């Protein structure tokens, strides 16, 4: 996948539905360092709204971008703290 972002790590949650994309994203972010960028690749269309809501309600993370492709939803979450 071509992307303008240089992700530190990619989390593949394709085929998994709510709440897995969120819960796995949280776990992956916990394992990263401040300043790292996590790319989350999901097939769950609900992840667009869910990741946005999660990032807005969680301190120490910033949602940089969300890309909607063919049945593929890619999220870029930066760990800020």
Partner 1 sequence: MSTDNQTPSADDADPASDAAELQALRERVDELEASLSELDDGDEQQKLTIVATQGSFDMAYPPLILGSTAAAFGWDVVVFHTFWGLDILHEEKSKNLKLSAVGNPNMPMPNALAAIPGMDRMATRMMEKKIDENGTATIEELIDLSLESGVDLQACQMTIELMDYDEDDFYDGVTTGVGAATALQHMAESDIQLLV
Catalytic residues, by residue number, are 18
Which residues ranging from 58 to 77 are in contact with partner 1 (CB under 8 A)?
58-59
Question: Among residues 2, 4, 6, 15, which is the contact residue for partner 1, using CB under 8 A?
Answer: 15
63 φ/ψ angles, rounded to the nearest 5 degrees? -85, 110
Tell me how far apart the alpha carbons of residues 34 and 66 are, in angstroms, rounded to a whole number. 20
Q: Are 25 and 40 in contact (CB under 8 A)?
A: yes
* Region binding partner 1 by CB under 8 A among candidate stretches 1-9, 20-28, 33-41, 68-76: 20-28
- Binding stretches for partner 1 (CB under 8 A): 15-20, 22-23, 25-27, 43-44, 54, 57-59
């Amino acid at each position: 996948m071509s992307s303008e972002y240089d992700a530190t790590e990619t989390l593949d949650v394709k085929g998994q539905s709510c709440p897995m994309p969120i819960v796995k994203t949280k776990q992956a972010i916990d394992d990263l360092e401040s300043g790292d960028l996590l790319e989350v690749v999901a097939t769950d269309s609900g992840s667009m709204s869910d990741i946005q809501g999660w990032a807005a309600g969680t301190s120490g993370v910033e949602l940089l971008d969300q890309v909607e492709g063919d049945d593929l939803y890619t999220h870029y979450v930066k760990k800020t703290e």
